[in-house]
């Protein structure tokens, strides 16, 4: 995990990451997160977004799901 400096990282970010890891979430490196988002400007983990869109909207085609992902970026 990248080391951040400053009060917010020490009092908010690190404790929250630690708590999330305790309940089973897997911390990612900044590089891994950037790759999952499809680059620096991406907001969502692309594969995970597509998976959940398909799960919650079984009527959507794969093409429609990709289109939604592209709009949300």
Long-range Cβ contacts of 2-5 (<8 Å, 24+ apart)? 2/29, 2/30
Taking only the tens of pLDDT, the chain with its 73 residues reads 556 556 777 777 788 888 998 999 988 889 999 999 999 999 999 999 999 999 999 999 999 999 999 898 7
């Amino acid at each position: 995990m990248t080391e951040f400096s400053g009060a917010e990282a020490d009092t908010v970010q690190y404790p929250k990451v630690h708590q999330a890891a305790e309940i089973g979430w897997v911390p990612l490196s900044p590089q891994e997160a950037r790759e999952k988002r499809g680059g620096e400007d991406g907001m969502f983990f692309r594969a995970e977004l597509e998976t959940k869109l398909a799960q919650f909207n079984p009527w959507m085609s794969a093409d429609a799901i990709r289109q939604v992902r592209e709009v949300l970026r």
